[in-house]
């Protein structure tokens, strides 16, 4: 059996929320990945309940999340804005829109294409954030 190799970049996604129970996740982001596909992968790896996750496999500690809608936001760092984070402060990060798509350029770097923002292309690096939001 032969599996096709697809270009990818290993990205570390950090959850900066205090007392949430979700921590860092390392995921490969493939060329052509969409935001919903990445969020679905984060949900599966971190056991975050949602539309594509089996809730019966969830621990009782996460049962309170079923009371409301749970969404996962993906955030990227602004260019040259990485600093020591302050508790409860979101400076230096930008929420990635749902229509964005990741690609791997010829140098092997991860690039974000955002058609909702004038087809902007931004190099995102290997570290991003994700947040679990209940509403």
pLDDT at residue 106, rounded to an integer: 83
How remote is the C-alpha of 135 from its chain's centroid? 19
Separation CA 65–CA 58 (nearest Å)? 10
Separation CA 26–CA 130 (nearest Å)? 12
Is 111:102 a contact under the CB 8 Å cutoff? yes
pLDDT at residue 10, rounded to an integer: 92
pLDDT at residue 56, rounded to an integer: 43
When computed from its CA atoms, the radius of gyration of the chain, rounded to whole angstroms, is: 16
Separation CA 83–CA 94 (nearest Å)? 14
Separation CA 125–CA 18 (nearest Å)? 24
Give the tokens for residue 86.
Answer: 């302050």
CA distances from 115 to 8, 29, 36, 71, 112 (A): 21, 19, 15, 22, 10
Rounded to a whole number of angstroms, the distance between the first and last alpha carbons of the chain is 45
Mean pLDDT by 10 residues, the chain (135 residues): 76 81 85 90 78 44 51 81 60 86 88 82 88 78
pLDDT at residue 23, rounded to an integer: 79
pLDDT at residue 101, rounded to an integer: 92
Q: What is the DSSP letter of 84?
A: P
pLDDT at residue 102, rounded to an integer: 92
What residue ranges do the domains of the chain occupy?
A: 8-51+61-134
Location of structure tokens 């290993």: 10
Give burial (CB, 10 Å; 0-12/13-18/19+) of 49: middle
pLDDT at residue 45, rounded to an integer: 81
């Amino acid at each position: 059996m032969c599996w096709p190799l697809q270009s990818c970049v290993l990205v570390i996604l950090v959850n900066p929320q205090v007392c949430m129970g979700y921590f860092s996740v390392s995921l490969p982001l493939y060329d052509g990945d969409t935001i919903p596909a990445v969020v679905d992968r984060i949900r599966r790896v971190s056991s975050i309940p949602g539309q594509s996750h089996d809730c019966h496999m969830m621990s009782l500690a996460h049962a309170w999340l079923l009371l409301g809608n749970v969404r996962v936001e993906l955030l990227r760092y602004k260019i040259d804005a990485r600093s020591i984070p302050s508790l409860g402060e979101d400076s230096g990060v930008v929420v990635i829109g749902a229509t964005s798509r990741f690609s791997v350029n010829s140098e092997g770097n991860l690039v974000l294409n955002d058609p909702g923002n004038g087809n902007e292309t931004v190099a995102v690096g290997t570290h991003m954030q994700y947040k679990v939001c209940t509403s």
